[in-house]
Amino acid sequence: MWVFTGLGNPGRRFLFNRHNIGFMVIDYACSQLSITKTVQAHKMLIMHTRVENNEIMMIKPLTYMNKSGQAIKQFASAYGIAPQEFVIIYDDLYLPLGKIRIRPRGGSGGHNGMESIITTMQTTEIPRIRIGTKEVEVILSETYSDYVLANFSKSELDIVHDTLECVYDSMVCITQNGLHTSMNKFNKK
């Protein structure tokens, strides 16, 4: 079973921040699928559903981004989920807006949420989907935290919507065909 895990910060003020694109993906996926059960437990929101005959879970840690690992470790222990069964979905400041990169493992790349998960789970063997949030022509004169906690601009919203669709399609592909097939198909876009 796959556990698709969107990273973000809880609360309305963070809803459309660049840092919350992982939450946005989970919300979009929930709008496309019939959710059979929703539970709030282990410091997270847990949604159960099926993609064709495959059971999946989608989760949103309700800790703040930098403590995502705490919730995920509790969840993994409670449900008996191995790190390799998670697919962590999060923003990547260094990828151009709309680009996605699917990987079976790797370091945090400076992302505090992913660093928390790697440290807490004690492995880098955790699949992930990184979503680019960098404006192509922007030079980062702001601090990183100000930039990632800023909302997407109105001019970026069409790209964001297309990206949510693409990531959702990659989740379906992972569920049906596996991680490597999805990597071959979606990393080229």
Q: Please identify which of the residues 19, 42, 48, 180 carries the catalytic annotation.
A: 19
Q: Where are the alpha helices (DSSP H) in the chain?
A: 21-32, 68-79, 112-121, 144-148, 157-177, 179-186
Distance CA 18, CA 149 (A): 6
Distance CA 118, CA 136 (A): 29
Does residue 187 sit in helix, strand or coil? coil
- Asked if 48 is an active-site residue, the reply is no
Question: Over the range 75-90, which residues count as b (16 or more CB within 10 Å of their CB) and which as e?
Answer: bbeeeebebeebbbbb
Q: Active-site residues: which are they?
A: 19
